[in-house]
Amino acid sequence: MRKLKLGVMISGSGTNLQALIDACVQKDYPAQIAVVISNRPGAKGLERAKDAGIDAICVDHTTYDDRASFEDAIHQCLKDHDVGLVCLAGFMRILNADFVNRWKDRMINIHPSLLPSYKGLHTHARAIEDGVRFGGCTIHFVRPEMDDGPIIMQAAVPISEAETEDSLAAKILHYEHEMYPTAVRLIAEGNVRVSARKCVFKDIDLDTAGLISPAIK
């Protein structure tokens, strides 16, 4: 089986990266990680990659004159590793439109909210503050606008009365880890493609059960 080569970009802990590493060790998984790139030298995800025997490279944004040269270095690194799909997994730098367009429909991101709600930072705290019943996470193809682009997968997670930012983050992270390898599989197996502003799927029923909170007794 010819596997899709992933370039995973991180800034921190890399638990989503770990979920991808764990999926990629399965023999029948249709993707492999060619390189992990972090913009932060101390990112724990770099250790996770090294432990798994994956090329782990730090492209430290603070050592570049401007964003364009930082992004050129990342682009070159991805090219050198023959990457077919870029996976942003907790990568916390904004990317220029030039870079994003070079990887159009070949770069995905995971964001901890039900997009298009709660773009940006502090998504869980804002959702709790607003009293919405569901938080969640989204995996989407990347477009130049921040946290924008055709949506591949989403998980909706009920927000409890006693919810804190940390407890909600932990609940949602669990679904992030389930979804990321699944979304990559969908792409690698050719089961999802972009049509205008949306993703369309092959042979997948999107009509799943609805969720109500509070539950109706």
Pairing of strands 4-10, 192-195: unpaired
Choice among 111, 124, 140, 177 that is catalytic: 111
Distances (CA, A) of 162 to 69, 158, 159, 174: 46, 12, 8, 19
Is residue 75 among the annotated active site residues? no
Task: Let me know: does 14 contact 43? Beta carbons within 8 Å.
Answer: yes
| DSSP state, residue 214 | S
| DSSP state, residue 4 | E
Binding to ligand GAR by residue 71, rule CB under 6 A?
no
Which residue do the tokens 């997670």 mark?
Answer: 157
Strands (E), 117-210: 134-141, 151-158, 192-195, 198-201
Please select the residue that binds ligand GAR; options are 36, 152, 176, 192, rule is CB under 6 A.
176
Of 75 and 140, CB closest to ligand GAR:
140
Task: Let me know: does 48 contact 21? Beta carbons within 8 Å.
Answer: yes
Of 152 and 216, CB closest to ligand GAR:
152
Binding to ligand GAR by residue 154, rule CB under 6 A?
no
Q: Given the rule CB under 6 A, which of 10-18, 124-132, 156-164, 187-195 is the region that contacts ligand GAR?
A: 10-18
Query: In angstroms, what is the minimal distance from the CB of 176 to ligand GAR?
Result: 5
Of 13 and 191, CB closest to ligand GAR:
13
| DSSP state, residue 74 | H
Residue 157, phi-psi category: left (phi > 0), alpha (psi -120 to 50), beta (remainder): beta
Cα separation, 141 vs 213, in Å, equals 29
Please select the residue that binds ligand GAR; options are 7, 8, 9, 16, rule is CB under 6 A.
16
Binding to ligand GAR by residue 40, rule CB under 6 A?
no
> Total binding residues for ligand GAR by CB under 6 A?
14
Please select the residue that binds ligand GAR; options are 7, 30, 112, 136, rule is CB under 6 A.
112
Please select the residue that binds ligand GAR; options are 37, 49, 89, 108, rule is CB under 6 A.
89
Catalytic (active-site) positions: 111
Given the rule CB under 6 A, which residues bind ligand GAR?
10, 12-16, 89-90, 110-112, 137, 173, 176
